[in-house]
Structure 1
C-alpha cells in the first residue's frame, strides 16, 4: 500500500469528535457469555468498502502506547454511533488500513498494513507496529473506505544499551467525566513529552445524567442507561465510548504514547481481587470483572499479551528507556488481599501489619524484586496506583491511615524498602494516582524515624477532574503536613504532574488549573521539586 492510497479521503473527517444526539439501542444476550468467549458469528471475509458506514467511524479518535525501541501499539475503534452498544457497526469483520510515517503529511511512509476490526471486540483495532527506529518520532493514521482517521503522533523508546540524556513525561489519573472538563489535557498536548503515564480510574461507575453532570451541556443528550452502574460488557463499553468522545482526551492520546494501568473504578470502587465492595458472590463479581477487563483492553493501546482471559489479565509489565529509566508498571488491584478491618480510614488495625497479607500477589512481587535487582538503569520508576508513603490522617497515636493504600499492607511495603536498601538500588522514583490530591513525599525506610534512610521519592498526581474544582489547602491537608514530615507538599487542585529525568537529577512540576466545572481554565505551576539520583530526597526547585 502506498501513501497515495490514503489521499482520496475527505479532509473534513479530520475534525475533532463531538458528542451529538443519538438513539440508544439495546442489546440482548448474556454479558457473561460475551465476556468469557468470543465465538460470535461473523463473516469469514473482512469487507473494505464503506457502503454500510453512513458516518465517520473514528468518533473515538486514535491512540498509541507501550513504546519499545522498535515498536509501538496503535489503537482505534470503529464507532460511528457512540451511544449504540454495537457502535453503529455491522456485525462482521471490517478491514482497516494503517500507516506509519516519518512526517505528518505521510510523504515518508515506513510501515503500513491492514488490520481486521472484529465484531466480537466491537471493532477495536490493536496494531503492534514493528520494525521502527529507536528514539524516533512517527505519525500514524487509519482508513476505512473513504473515511480517514485523525493523525496521531508517537515516539519509540531509546535503544537497549543507549545512554539517553533525559526523559520527560506526564503523570495523570482519575478523570471522572461528569465532574467537569478535561482542560488539563488541552494544556498537556502543548508540552514536550516522551510519554504519558495514566495511573488508573480512566472511567467511573457512577451515574452520568443527560447533560453530563457538571458539564451541563444540553446538547449531549446522554441516555438514561448511563445512570445505571456498569456490570455487563455492553455497559462498560458504553462508558468508554462516552469518555473517549471527549476532544481534549482524544487530543492527548493522539499527541503522545501512553503507558496505562488501572485502579479500582474501571471495575468498581475499592474492589480487591475477587471481593467486591458490596460483597457480591465471588462468582458473579468475577463475571463483572471479566466484562470490565475486556472493555478496558478493547479501549486502550495495549498488546495482545494484555488481552484478558476471562476475569484475568496480566497488566503489570516493564519498559526500558535505554540505560536511563527502567519502568515497572504495577497492578495493585487484581491480586491483593481484601482491605483490612473493613476498609476505610482506621487507627490501630493490627491486621494491616500481618506479614502474610499482599497487595501485589506473589508472582508480581517476585517479578518486581527481580526487575529492580537486575536493573542497570540510572532510574527505577514504579508506575503505581495507590499511595506508597505513609499517610497519617490524624495526630492521634495510633494515627488514622488508609486501608486501601500501602498503609493497609505495611509488611509488603517494608519488604520492598528493605530490598531496595540492602541491594543499594539507586534512583527509585514512584509515581502514583488515586487520591485526587497532589503529594510530594520522601520514602523512608522507617516512617516513624525521620532520620532513617530515604530509599526513594514519590510523586502523587492529582486528578484530571475527579473531586470537582478543588482548592489549594484546608485544615485536613495542613494536618497531614504536620503529621507526616516526610510529605513535603499537598494540594487538592486539579491538573497533572510533569517530570523530567536526566542522568543524575529528577525534576517534578505540579501543574494545576483553578476550575474544571467550566472550560478554558488557565494552567499554572503550583510547586516544583528536585531529587538527586544518588542522594534521594525532595527539595524545592
Structure 2
C-alpha cells in the first residue's frame, strides 16, 4: 500500500455473519444474583460485557481475570461505545458456579487509555482448584467464567490435560472447533498466535474483516479484536478454562521479524513507522487477552516469554519467536550462519537455564513456528521455508545441542502457524535418520485459517517422503489435546470436517504417544 497509515481511507461497513453489536454471547447472570457492592456512578449506553470474559496465566495461588467493556464493540473510535471517562468494574470469584461460596472480591479501574480492558490479578486462592468468576458494572453482570489454579510446584500429579490451538482467520471459516474445545474439561488452553489476521480482505464464506482495510492504528486493531471476540464459539472456549497466550506474526503483520516489516510496498518499511504499528498491535493484543501486568507493553516492547509450573508434571516455557529474531533470509544457503538469532541471546540463555533446572516430568515449549526440519521438495533437491526455524538452522542447532548437553528429559515442543498437523522426532542431525532424538514436536493445525482443508494433501505426501523424522500428517482444521501422565503423554489431534459453515462435528483423527524417558514418537494410533 502506498499511502501513509495516517492518510489511509477508512471506509467502514459491518461484515456479514455474526459481527453486529447484538451478536449472541454467553448468557449473563441476573444482576440480582450478585452480592451487594458499591455502585459505579455511570449511565451505560448498553450492555457492556458483549466481548465475554476470560482468565489466564494461572499460578498455584491465583489467576488473571479479563473482560473488556464494549456496549458498541465496532464503534469507529475504538472505545467500544464507552463514554471516555474511567469507570469501576467489580469482580468476584467463588467455589461454585451459583456463587454461594464467594472467596474473593475486588474492583478494577477501566480507562479509555487501555480500551476499557480489565486485568484483575487475583491471589490467595487454593492450588489446583476450579473457581467461577464474573464482573459487574452498575446493574449489569457479565457472563460467568470457569477457571482453575495451577497445582503447587513440585506437587505429585497423576495427570493433566491441556489443549493448544492457533490461527483463526475470521474470513476463512467458522470457529466451530472452539465450541468443541469448550466441552473438553481442560486444565488449560495454550494459544500460539494468529489470534487475529491483520488483512482487510473478504473471504469466500460471507465473513468479511471489519474494518475493511489492513490494520495499522490502535483503533484499527481494537476494532478487529472486537469483531473476533464477538464470536460466541471463541467466547465459550475462553470462559471454559484459563488460557496462556503468545502472539505470532499476523497479530501484528505477516512475517514480521524484529524491527522489520515484511518486504512489500507498505509505508511501514521505515523501521520507526513499523515500531509504531507494532506498538499499536501489542497494546490491542494486551487489551483483549488475559495477560498479567508484567506483559503490559511499553510502546513497541512487550514481555512475551515466560515460564509456568504445574505441580511436578509440567513446566511450560512460552517463547517469543518474533521480537528478537533476525530478518528472514532471501538466500537459503545462509541459514546455517552461526550469528543468526531466533530467540535472541537473552531469551535463549533463559530457556536453556530453565530447562536445565527443571524438575518437571514433561518440559514443553509453547512455540509459534515449527522447529523440525521440513524439506518441501521431492527428490534430491531441497527447499526450506525461511520464516520457520529452518531459516535459522544454526540457532535451532544451538537449542537442540543445549538440550542434549543438559540431559533434558521429555522435551516437547507444541507449535502452530502452519495450518496443518505433524508429529515429528526432533533430531540432533536431521540429515542422519540414525542421529540422536532429543525430543518430540507436535505441530497443530489451524482453527479456521486455510478453509476446510483435507485429510492429506500434496505437501503432506512430500513431507512424509522427504522427512523421515515426521511420523504423522493431516491438513484438516481443529485443535490438539495433550494428556500428560506419569508414564506417557498422548496428543489427540481433534479435527472438524468443514469450517465454511457452522455446526461441524469433531473427531479424533489420530492419537500420538510419547513414553516417559524415551524421546520421540513411540507410536501413532490413527
- Residue 49 in structure 1 maps to residue 34 in structure 2: no
Query: How far apart are residue 537 of structure 1 and its match?
Result: 2.0
Cα offsets for 1:1-42 (capped at 9, x unmatched) = xxxxxxxxxxxxxxxx963269xxxxxxxxxxxxxxxxxxxx
- Residue 533 in structure 1 maps to residue 523 in structure 2: no
Task: Name 2:32's counterpart in structure 1.
Answer: none
Task: Name 1:43's counterpart in structure 2.
Answer: none
How many angstroms apart in 2 are the aligned matches of 1:540 and 1:478?
17
- Residue 123 in structure 1 maps to residue 116 in structure 2: yes
Task: Name 1:216's counterpart in structure 2.
Answer: 206
Among candidates 284, 294, 306, match of residue 305 of structure 1: 294
Among candidates 69, 72, 78, match of residue 63 of structure 2: 72
Task: Name 2:213's counterpart in structure 1.
Answer: 228
Q: Is the 8 A contact 1:140 1:151 kept in 2?
A: yes
Task: Name 1:179's counterpart in structure 2.
Answer: 172
Query: How far apart are residue 534 of structure 1 and its match?
Result: 0.3
Please state whether the residue corresponding to 2:281 is helix, strand or coil: helix
Q: Is the 8 A contact 2:210 2:227 kept in 1?
A: no
Q: Is the 8 A contact 1:505 1:533 kept in 2?
A: yes
Please state whether the residue corresponding to 1:187 is helix, strand or coil: helix
- Residue 479 in structure 1 maps to residue 462 in structure 2: yes
Task: Name 1:370's counterpart in structure 2.
Answer: 353
Task: Name 1:19's counterpart in structure 2.
Answer: 19
How many angstroms apart in 2 are the aligned matches of 1:227 and 1:19?
13
- Residue 406 in structure 1 maps to residue 406 in structure 2: no
Q: Which moved more, 1:272-281 or 1:436-445?
A: 272-281
Cα offsets for 1:71-101 (capped at 9, x unmatched) = 1000000000011122100111100000000
Which ranges of structure 2 fall in alignment gaps of 5 or more residues?
Answer: 1-16, 23-37
Among candidates 284, 288, 300, match of residue 295 of structure 1: 284
Task: Name 1:159's counterpart in structure 2.
Answer: 152
- Residue 149 in structure 1 maps to residue 139 in structure 2: no
Please state whether the residue corresponding to 1:286 is helix, strand or coil: helix
How many angstroms apart in 1 are the aligned matches of 2:457 and 2:82?
49
Cα offsets for 1:317-354 (capped at 9, x unmatched) = 00011111111000000110001126xxxxxx221110
Cα offsets for 1:472-519 (capped at 9, x unmatched) = 112221111000111011111000011101112110111101100001
- Residue 381 in structure 1 maps to residue 381 in structure 2: no
How many angstroms apart in 1 are the aligned matches of 2:435 and 2:407?
15
Query: How far apart are residue 251 of structure 1 and its match?
Result: 0.3
Q: Is the 8 A contact 1:50 1:146 kept in 2?
A: no
Q: How does 1:477-516 map to 2 (within 5 A)?
A: 477-516=460-499
Query: How far apart are residue 422 of structure 1 and its match?
Result: 1.6
How many angstroms apart in 2 are the aligned matches of 1:55 and 1:394?
56
How many angstroms apart in 1 are the aligned matches of 2:341 and 2:377?
25
Q: Which moved more, 1:433-442 or 1:277-286?
A: 277-286
Please state whether the residue corresponding to 2:57 is helix, strand or coil: strand
Task: Name 2:83's counterpart in structure 1.
Answer: 90
How many angstroms apart in 2 are the aligned matches of 1:351 and 1:448?
17
Query: How far apart are residue 395 of structure 1 and its match?
Result: 2.7
Query: How far apart are residue 49 of structure 1 and its match?
Result: 3.0
Aligned structure 1 segments of 4 or more residues deviating by more than 6 angstroms: none
How many angstroms apart in 2 are the aligned matches of 1:377 and 1:319?
11
Query: How far apart are residue 398 of structure 1 and its match?
Result: 4.4
Cα offsets for 1:212-233 (capped at 9, x unmatched) = x34427xxxx7x8622100100
Among candidates 72, 78, 85, match of residue 81 of structure 1: 72
Q: Is the 8 A contact 1:49 1:144 kept in 2?
A: no
Task: Name 2:428's counterpart in structure 1.
Answer: 445
Among candidates 318, 321, 330, match of residue 319 of structure 2: 330
Cα offsets for 1:244-272 (capped at 9, x unmatched) = 00000000000000001111000000000
Task: Name 2:8's counterpart in structure 1.
Answer: none
How many angstroms apart in 2 are the aligned matches of 1:21 and 1:149?
16
- Residue 238 in structure 1 maps to residue 227 in structure 2: no
Closer, same or farther: CA 313–513 of 1 in aligned 2, 3 Å: same
How many angstroms apart in 2 are the aligned matches of 1:416 and 1:119?
42
Q: TM-score, normalised by structure 1?
A: 0.88
Q: Is the 8 A contact 2:200 2:215 kept in 1?
A: no
How many angstroms apart in 2 are the aligned matches of 1:398 and 1:419?
30
Q: Which moved more, 1:290-299 or 1:530-539?
A: 530-539
How many angstroms apart in 2 are the aligned matches of 1:236 and 1:63?
19
Task: Name 2:104's counterpart in structure 1.
Answer: 111
Cα offsets for 1:370-417 (capped at 9, x unmatched) = 110111111100000000000010134441011100001111111111
Task: Name 2:305's counterpart in structure 1.
Answer: 316
Which ranges of structure 1 fall in alignment gaps of 5 or more residues?
Answer: 1-16, 23-45, 343-348
* CA RMSD, 1 decimal: 1.6
Q: Is the 8 A contact 1:215 1:517 kept in 2?
A: yes
Task: Name 1:198's counterpart in structure 2.
Answer: 191
How many angstroms apart in 1 are the aligned matches of 2:284 and 2:459?
37
Q: Is the 8 A contact 2:95 2:131 kept in 1?
A: yes
Task: Name 1:39's counterpart in structure 2.
Answer: none
Closer, same or farther: CA 99–208 of 1 in aligned 2, 3 Å: farther
Task: Name 1:422's counterpart in structure 2.
Answer: 405
Q: How many residues align?
A: 487
Task: Name 2:241's counterpart in structure 1.
Answer: 256
Q: TM-score, normalised by structure 2?
A: 0.90
Q: Is the 8 A contact 1:327 1:382 kept in 2?
A: yes
How many angstroms apart in 2 are the aligned matches of 1:417 and 1:319?
21
Task: Name 1:14's counterpart in structure 2.
Answer: none
Query: How far apart are residue 161 of structure 1 and its match?
Result: 2.0
Among candidates 177, 181, 190, match of residue 188 of structure 1: 181
How many angstroms apart in 2 are the aligned matches of 1:363 and 1:21?
44
Task: Name 1:63's counterpart in structure 2.
Answer: 54
Q: Is the 8 A contact 2:39 2:137 kept in 1?
A: no
Q: Is the 8 A contact 1:47 1:94 kept in 2?
A: no
How many angstroms apart in 2 are the aligned matches of 1:334 and 1:49?
42
How many angstroms apart in 2 are the aligned matches of 1:452 and 1:357?
24
